[in-house]
Structure 1
């Protein structure tokens, strides 16, 4: 009887062992975390036919920047310092006459139809103008409101590109009356001056950013020193939600 019991037990165990070795599912492989996955940037920015791509913005220091649109148009804003003035200009924007915003002569390489828009063209008969250039729409907005910057001789600009994305550059300013209405513009990237000497300081710039309500808030023109054109330590004191910091020479895709 004992022998028969052992035989039956063996007949039961053999198939069970075979099933365990061959048919049982193996343990799942370890899941990679997001930080370990190698993202291919080219896949992320692959252009879609018929859909405008982002403009590329190069921050040059102080209030200077260069923008290359999806159409290949080159825009310089408040030229003064930094590298990257080699590309032929299609549009030069100047917010006001001060030397650290108005180095237009530095841009020698210009396309034949290059346009220069300064505060003089941007304010006509007391009205701030809008310029629809096809590849970009430039809307002049108020700037000034302090003893060094007269509102009639200073402007900021809101640029809207062919993909619908927009940037706002304050130029030199304190808080303006118009800022309270600018949230309606749905601005994507806003650059706020905050040197605290000739313009609003960091705390006032934070309040201005709250008024404007842009999706990303970027400090620039953070010092009034002639030998320092960007101070990251000061920029990091721009304590506002959705802050984005660009160092000199860094680029931003306006998307």
Structure 2
């Protein structure tokens, strides 16, 4: 196995940030070993696909589009390379967020939490059994690992959610209701909070959500066309949410998603108190 630190920075609240480019071999590292250092690990795999390892070693896979994602490193295009998965989160039913979620849920017998309407459709179509497709609503908080474990709250996202499905009986493509899109506030066992926005445009209650949950890290889409462009995303984190860190996601996978981290950084500016932008490449991880 090989790990090459890209950066190591001293941060407030005794946190440290470490960017490491991964080889395929590192994908199978034990979460239990990682958990000994009591950190939160965020591994970005392209588009919105994100694997979070909590301080106690629980592994949460969010929006897993991996096997056909052009930005996912080759070592992660085989789902077994993700390693163990304890929980799957899906923000909405679009293919580039949902595609590999059912397969991972079945592989690990891990529940796939998502919008209530989406999971009702998933169960009705037989994509997953009911026990692996629990329904989850905006404003609701779940503690899937018990009262001392991670807390996950579904919050609003300004987007759409349609579930594309090929009917095995007819061979025809169908479109089914996918519920309302959500983002997730994920509070770790040690209190560190991540807001994974999924896909969204700007909405006024972003400020309210920021005030209520005080996320330390926001994973924010910047690609434009279907989601916020870089300038809007910069305004959101700088002026509305004000997290410690912002990590741009959901760009560069299709021609329409033209926004870039450089544009996001330029729009964010460098005024005192501005959130720190973290730019990682697919297959790199950040430790907090």
TM-score between both structures, scaled by the size of structure 2: 0.61
Shift of 1:109: 6.7
Once the two structures are superposed, residues 163-208 of structure 1 have per-residue CA deviations (whole angstroms, 9 ceiling, x without a partner) of 1101111111111232121232221110110111111111111111
Alignment of 1:77-96 (within 5 A): 77-81=62-66, 82=72, 83-84=75-76, 85=79, 86=81, 87-96=83-92
Unaligned runs of 5+ in 1: 1-38, 46-50
Structure 2 residue aligned with 1:214: 243
Counterparts of 1:17-166 in structure 2, within 5 Å, are 53-81=38-66, 82=72, 83-84=75-76, 85=79, 86=81, 87-103=83-99, 104-107=101-104, 110-112=107-109, 114-120=110-116, 121-123=135-137, 127-133=138-144, 134=146, 135-144=149-158, 153-166=180-193
Alignment of 1:168 onto 2:195? yes
Alpha-carbon distance in structure 2 between the residues aligned to 1:152 and 1:106: 20
2:185 & 2:98 partners in 1: Cα distance? 18
Measure, in 1, the Cα distance between the counterparts of 2:96 and 2:42.
Answer: 19
| 2:98 match: secondary structure | coil
2:222–2:248 CA contact under 8 A, matched in 1: yes
Counterparts of 1:152 and 1:253, CA distance in 2? 33
The two structures have a TM-score, normalised by structure 1, of: 0.69
**Which structure would you say has the larger RCO, counting Cα contacts within 8 Å and 6 or more residues apart?**
2
Distance 1:172 1:226, change over 3 A: same
Aligned counterpart, 1:13: none
Deviation at 1:88, TM superposition (A): 2.3
Aligned to 1:5: none
Residue aligning to 2:223: 195
Alpha carbons of structure 1 residues 136 and 165: separation in structure 2 relative to 1, 3 Å? same
Tell me, in whole angstroms, the C-alpha distance in 2 between the residues paired with 1:77 and 1:212.
Answer: 21
Which runs of 5 or more structure 2 residues have no equivalent in the other structure?
A: 1-8, 10-14, 17-35, 67-71, 117-134, 163-176
Aligned residue in 2 for 1:186: 214
Measured on the aligned residues, the alpha-carbon RMSD in Å equals 3.3
Larger Rg: 1
